[in-house]
Amino acid sequence: MAVALEVAGVGKDFLIPVIDSVSFAVEAGEFVCLLGPNGCGKTTLLRIVGGLEPPSRGTVTLGGEPVFGSGRHTRKVGVVFQEDRLLPWRTLRENVELVQKPLGADAADRRRTGDRYLRLAGLAGFEDYYPTRVSGGMRQRAAIARALAIEPDLLLMDEPFGALDAQNRRIMQTEVRRIWRETGRTILFVTHAIEEAVAIGTTLIMLSARPARIRTLVRNDGRVERAKLIDDLNTIIMEEVERQQGSGA
**Does position 132 bind other proteins by CB under 8 A?**
yes
β-pairing, 57-62 vs 3-14, is antiparallel
Specify the residue, 76 or 213, whose C-beta has the smaller distance to other proteins.
76
Window of 56-64, 75-83, 213-221, 228-236 that interacts with other proteins by CB under 8 A:
75-83
**Does position 180 bind other proteins by CB under 8 A?**
no
**Does position 124 bind other proteins by CB under 8 A?**
no
- 3-class SS of residue 84: coil
Specify the residue, 158 or 196, whose C-beta has the smaller distance to other proteins.
158
Closest distance between other proteins and the C-beta of residue 60, in Å? 15
**From residue 1, how far is each of 5, 210, 222 by CA, in Å?**
12, 32, 20
- Residue 230 corresponds to which amino acid? I
| Rounded Cα–Cα distance for residues 25 and 3 (Å) | 7
Backbone angles phi, psi at 97, to 5 degrees: -70, -35
Binding to other proteins, residues 209-238 (CB under 8 A): none
Closest distance between other proteins and the C-beta of residue 44, in Å? 14
Closest distance between other proteins and the C-beta of residue 46, in Å? 12
**Does position 85 bind other proteins by CB under 8 A?**
yes
Strand partners, 188: 32, 156
Closest distance between other proteins and the C-beta of residue 156, in Å? 9
Work out which of 24, 68, 126, 130 binds other proteins, going by CB under 8 A.
130
> Do residues 10 and 19 lie in contact, with contact meaning Cβ atoms separated by under 8 Å?
yes
Binding to other proteins, residues 37-66 (CB under 8 A): 50, 52
> Do residues 172 and 180 lie in contact, with contact meaning Cβ atoms separated by under 8 Å?
no
Half-sphere exposure for 92 (CA within 13 Å, toward CB): 29
Closest distance between other proteins and the C-beta of residue 5, in Å? 16
β-pairing, 65-66 vs 212-219, is unpaired
**Does position 98 bind other proteins by CB under 8 A?**
yes
Binding to other proteins, residues 135-164 (CB under 8 A): 146, 150
Closest-CA residue to 97 (of 127, 76, 126) = 127
**Does position 81 bind other proteins by CB under 8 A?**
yes
Quick count: other Cβ atoms within 10 Å of Cβ 210?
A: 21
Closest distance between other proteins and the C-beta of residue 88, in Å? 6
| Rounded Cα–Cα distance for residues 141 and 70 (Å) | 35
**Does position 77 bind other proteins by CB under 8 A?**
yes
* Interface residue list for other proteins (CB under 8 A): 50, 52, 72, 77-79, 81, 83, 85, 87-90, 98-99, 101-102, 130-132, 146, 150
